[in-house]
């Protein structure tokens, strides 16, 4: 009797019971997002003289959510259809540069600029998608081709004086280019509103990803991932659906770039189009669990705060944050190929 109550009340038991609930996904989403929304306040609470804030700052949380968001967007093509993109920095960078350029040189509202950037990213995605799918690039070749486009965008921007060239593109204070602070201007004087903007983005893309996954279309996308030839042979127009998935993915990834350009003062070709941006975009989804909805968020919350913690607290040893990325990647691929999200299942398998 006492035994059964204790197993029913531990966390694993609660989660198992929640899994069986009819609205399990919604309850978990509300709880998870509620926790994320409260996080900026939670890190300030002190317990026994310690607080999360001593290892986590709001800035780290914002960067974490940027990559949770962009990784969720990346998931729409790479997690859902299995076409592993290694060039999403191309879309990220377009979003960043379009928003920044339009806002500063033409006085266009960043929200509108973000949509323009999204539109341009979709055009590029259609071009990349058309070429890649038309020439049937798969596996390594698909990854290399997307990577090549990101590099190409990077070197083109680096050679374009109008976009600041290699030095980068600097965003002055809003009053210096005639904009105000506030939500309408996408400019804030403190970090907290930025956090809630990117949090809002994350809610939107997660809802879109969930809706897509639950729809008929999502079923087709996963069919493409499992066996594309079989999917095509039963009459699924795979080309059209892949094009749609990559466009949607690019559209949202450009938002992440737009946010980046409005949050940081300067954007540079190598930081927004570079190899490491490609990695940062795909890392959370891979670590958390490819093709799963909570995966990108869990992966981001695991990787970036941990890396930042090492960077900030073991500062006599430079490079430890890279160890976190590296070890996380290797261990995930070797031990948990389905990501952190599969850890409960793995533990249950070990126990049984």
| Binding residues vs other proteins (CB under 8 A) | 78, 82, 84, 86, 131, 135, 137, 139-141, 143-145, 147-149, 151-152, 155-156, 158-160, 165-166, 274-275, 279, 286, 290, 317-323, 325-334, 337
Min dist. Cβ of residue 344 to other proteins (A) = 21
159 within 8 A of 287, measured Cβ to Cβ: no
Residue 107 vs 139, nearer CB to other proteins: 139
Min dist. Cβ of residue 40 to other proteins (A) = 29
198 within 8 A of 62, measured Cβ to Cβ: yes
Strand ranges (DSSP E) for 146-305? 169-170, 266-267
Kindly list the distances between the CA atom of residue 38 and the CA atoms of 58, 192, 199, 307, in Å, as whole numbers in the listed order.
Answer: 12, 11, 11, 22
Min dist. Cβ of residue 295 to other proteins (A) = 14
Min dist. Cβ of residue 329 to other proteins (A) = 3
Structural tokens at position 54: 């001593």
- Distance CA(300)–CA(76), nearest Å, equals 16
Min dist. Cβ of residue 331 to other proteins (A) = 8
Min dist. Cβ of residue 184 to other proteins (A) = 30
- Report how far Cα 302 is from the mean position of its chain's Cα atoms: 13
Please count the other Cβ atoms lying within 10 Å of the Cβ belonging to residue 221. Answer: 27
69: nearest Cα among 315, 281, 221: 281
- Distance CA(285)–CA(66), nearest Å, equals 13
Residue 15 vs 323, nearer CB to other proteins: 323
Kindly list the distances between the CA atom of residue 76 and the CA atoms of 25, 58, 207, in Å, as whole numbers in the listed order.
Answer: 18, 27, 12
């Amino acid at each position: 009797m006492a035994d059964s109550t204790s197993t029913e009340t531990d966390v694993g038991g609660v989660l198992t019971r929640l899994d069986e609930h009819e609205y399990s996904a919604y309850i978990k989403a509300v709880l998870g997002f509620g926790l994320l929304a409260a996080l900026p306040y939670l890190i300030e609470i002190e317990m026994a003289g310690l607080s999360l804030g001593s290892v986590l700052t709001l800035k780290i949380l914002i960067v974490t959510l940027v990559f949770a968001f962009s990784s969720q967007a990346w998931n729409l093509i790479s997690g859902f259809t299995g076409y592993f993109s290694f060039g999403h920095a191309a879309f990220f960078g377009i979003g960043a540069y379009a928003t920044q350029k339009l806002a500063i040189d033409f006085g266009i509202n960043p929200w509108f600029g973000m949509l323009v950037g999204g539109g341009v990213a979709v055009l590029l995605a259609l071009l990349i998608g058309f070429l890649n799918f038309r020439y049937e690039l798969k596996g390594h070749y698909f990854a290399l081709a997307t990577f090549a486009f990101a590099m190409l965008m990077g070197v083109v921007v680096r050679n374009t004086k109008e976009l600041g060239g290699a030095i980068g593109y600097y965003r002055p204070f809003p009053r210096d280019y005639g904009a105000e602070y506030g939500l309408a201007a996408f400019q804030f004087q403190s970090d907290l509103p930025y956090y809630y903007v990117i949090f809002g983005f994350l809610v939107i893309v997660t809802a879109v990803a969930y809706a897509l996954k639950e729809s008929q279309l999502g079923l087709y996308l996963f069919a493409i991932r499992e066996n594309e030839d079989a999917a095509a042979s039963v009459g699924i127009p795979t080309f059209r659906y892949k094009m749609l998935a990559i466009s949607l993915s690019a559209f949202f990834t450009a938002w992440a770039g737009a946010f980046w350009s409005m949050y940081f003062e300067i954007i540079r070709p190598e930081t927004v189009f570079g190899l490491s941006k490609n990695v940062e975009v795909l890392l959370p989804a891979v670590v958390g669990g490819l093709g799963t909805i909570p995966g990108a968020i869990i992966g981001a919350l695991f990787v970036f705060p941990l890396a930042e913690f090492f960077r900030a607290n073991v500062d006599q040893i430079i490079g430890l944050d890279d160890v976190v990325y590296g070890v996380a990647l290797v261990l995930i691929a070797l031990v948990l190929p389905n990501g952190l999200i599969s850890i409960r299942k793995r533990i249950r398998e070990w126990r049984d």
